[in-house]
Chain A
Amino acid sequence: AIQLTQSPSSLSTSVGDRVTITCRASQAISSALVWYQQKPGKPPKLLIYDASRLQSGAPSRFRGSGSGTDFTLTINGLQPEDFADYYCQQLETYPFTFGPGTRVDIK
């Protein structure tokens, strides 16, 4: 199975900051990577699909980039509602594994 690692595992930041989360795959997966946001007690919400395409309804401050094995989720101008957990998932090969997650909280 393809393994995904995320870094950092957590970060403390402030409203207005730029946040960068990385996701690395154990083998090349082209653009078969998506990003989710999850808040406590809620199901995940899809933010980015196909590595860099913004899901309908997701704010434009979220940006995905990368291909192959290295991917990045960038949040430009963090808003109070962005404090949450973020997960990447690969869709290249079954099983469709998730990364371990990154928690973004308030400094």
Chain B
Amino acid sequence: EVQLVQSAAELKKPGESLTISCNGSENTFSNYWISWVRQMPGKGLEWMGRIDPTDSYINYSPSIQGHVTISADKSINTVYLQWSSLKASDTAVYYCARRSRSDYYYYGLDVWGQGTTVTVSS
């Protein structure tokens, strides 16, 4: 079964740094792009950005660019989402998800991680 496995839930204080991770198979990271999606409590889905794990080319959403960093380590098939200074408004569930790099059709995000809950509170 194809899986994306995310790191465990985090409880942090405002101003602290944090990195969460998303691990998949070698096949996934060779043939798919990985997106991060945020879901704030009781709210809808928000696309944050995507990375090509083979060359680390990234597209960010303008709404989050500059506040988070997306990166990848293709040697261990892992993608990261990083904050240098958390805010209370970063409290959310964060999902990673893969999308085929094929342009034959407009493919969607077909495999999702289980989600990482990040709580930022003083």
Contact = CB atoms under 8 A, between A and B. Distances in A.
Q: Do A and B share a complex?
A: yes
Contacts, number: 78
A48 B60 CA distance: 24
A62 interface: no
Given A43-B95, A43-B112, A95-B59, A100 B106 contact: no
B37 to A, nearest CB: 8
Contacts of A1: 61-62
Contacts of B37: 44, 98
Contacts of A44: 37, 45, 95, 97, 109, 112
**How many interface residues does chain B have, given as a range?**
20 to 34
| Chain A interface, >50% SS class | loop
Interface string B59-103: 111110000000000000000000000000000000101010000
B47 A46 contact: no
B115 interface: yes
A38 B45 CA distance: 10
A36 B44 CA distance: 12
